[in-house]
Amino acid sequence: MTTPAIITHSMNIMMMVTRTKLFPMTSVGIRSTKQRTAVSAALNELEDFRSTQEIHEYLKERGDSVGLTTVYRTLQALSAAGEVDVILREDGESVYRLCSDAHHHHLVCRQCGHTVEVEGPTVERWADSVSAEHGFTDVSHTLEIFGLCANCSAVSH
Amino acid sequence: MTTPAIITHSMNIMMMVTRTKLFPMTSVGIRSTKQRTAVSAALNELEDFRSTQEIHEYLKERGDSVGLTTVYRTLQALSAAGEVDVILREDGESVYRLCSDAHHHHLVCRQCGHTVEVEGPTVERWADSVSAEHGFTDVSHTLEIFGLCANCSAVSH
DNA sequence: AACGAACTTGACACTCATTTTCATTTAGAG
DNA sequence: CTCTAAATGAAAATGAGTGTCAAGTTCGTT
Ligand SMILES: [Mn+2]
Ligand SMILES: [Mn+2]
Ligand SMILES: [Zn+2]
Ligand SMILES: [Zn+2]
């Protein structure tokens, strides 16, 4: 009953297609450029959260060199548009990842960066009710779980 | 049935006493200095999360001038020792606060900084179980709720 | 296909929180 | 009191992110 490799591969392809997000050029005045396309492509290929500098480096190695300033601007625009998720690493650096559309949180390996999306309807309700109890409005929350993934746990004995 | 001012004052004193935490000088080689005492005193007086620079400024106005580098070092040592809580503001700057001992999270006003400690046993269990399901070990989590406190909500109509 | 206004890019200078360096001062054990 | 490891703080360095602006590109219009 093991999942055949071929199926896993197809699933990966499906996931990539599902994850594809382009720079939001829908509204007037927003233009499609090869730099924005390259950044979107990089996010599409990278599985885990990456910093602006890492994505810039990735593009350079890949051949699609894009100015660092442009990578900063593009990632910020994508996150402002809600097309990518951002989290602050413990050192305060912002890292980006192309995620699914639904509201979710992350389980992040602090060793290798491996990321799993997780949902918790109970947590959402708790956050809403505790906010309301204290009269807070216009609330948002951040919730991330850091640890060692199964792989990294095994490696370190 | 309004709480008399005198009682409120006593309660504040009690809270201050309860909240008091000094720099951890228990282990050998750790010394008690007037700078560390001053930083602990400032944390004791400040209610909300404050940045290193804000605490440095507060000490200057207060008369207990301490070098900025020393304030950085002291706050980092206190947070490493678990004596104070630290959270990353959305701009990536670290802010510190003297909190209660028990594990808890925060409801933070993004306008005025007013902070409320909140607990959520359900959330803790959820975080543990979802981590276990994915084989993660050595997990920790961050969870903060940002919004506008009742006061700030009222002010902005 | 050519035009041109608005948008975009990227090299470079700059900001500012945090870290490093290191000469000087200080806590506290003996 | 003396001595020395620990601590301080002024100054320089670091580095992620931002502002500037001349040059390049996109795309609707002609
Ligand atoms: Mn949530
Ligand atoms: Mn918790
Ligand atoms: Zn891992
Ligand atoms: Zn407020």
Nearest CA in chain B to A92: B92
Dist. CA A37–CA B81, nearest whole Å: 46
Amino acid letter at B90?
A: E
Its pTM stands at: 0.86
Nearest CA in chain B to A149: B136
List the A137 CA – D3 C1' distance (angstroms).
61
Instruction: Check CB contact under 8 Å for A136 and B130.
Output: no
Dist. CA B101–CA B103, nearest whole Å: 7
Residues 6+ apart with CB under 8 A from B56: B66, B68, B71
pLDDT tens digits, one per residue of A98-133: 999 999 999 999 888 899 999 999 999 999 999 999
pLDDT tens digits, one per residue of B134-146: 999 999 999 999 8
pLDDT tier for residue B26 given thresholds of 50, 70 and 90: confident
Range with the poorest average pLDDT among A152-156, B94-98, B101-105, B113-117: A152-156
Which residue bears the tokens 């095994």? Answer: A154
Answer with the residue of higher pLDDT: B144 or B29.
B144
Q: Residue B15: pLDDT above 80?
A: no
Q: How far is the CA of B153 from the centre of ligand 4 (A)?
A: 7
pLDDT tens digits, one per residue of A55-86: 999 999 999 999 999 999 999 999 999 999 99
Of the candidates A34, A52, A30, the residue with the CA atom closest to the CA atom of residue A43: A52
Average pLDDT, chain A: 87
Q: Residue B64: pLDDT above 90?
A: yes
Give strand pairing partners of B106: B117, B144
Cβ–Cβ under 8 Å, residues A86 and A96: yes
The reply to whether A147 touches chain B by the CB within 8 Å rule is yes
Q: Residue A144: pLDDT above 70?
A: yes
Instruction: Check CB contact under 8 Å for B134 and A149.
Output: yes
Instruction: Check CB contact under 8 Å for A135 and B153.
Output: yes
Average pLDDT, chain B: 87
Backbone angles phi, psi at B19, to 5 degrees: -80, -15
pLDDT tens digits, one per residue of A1-37: 333 333 333 344 444 445 678 888 877 889 999 999 9
State the pairing for strand pair A105-109/A137-148.
Answer: parallel
pLDDT tier for residue B157 given thresholds of 50, 70 and 90: low
Choose among A90, A136, A146: nearest Cβ to B107: A136
Take residue B15 and report the two structure tokens written for it. Answer: 């809270």
Q: Residue B11: pLDDT above 60?
A: no
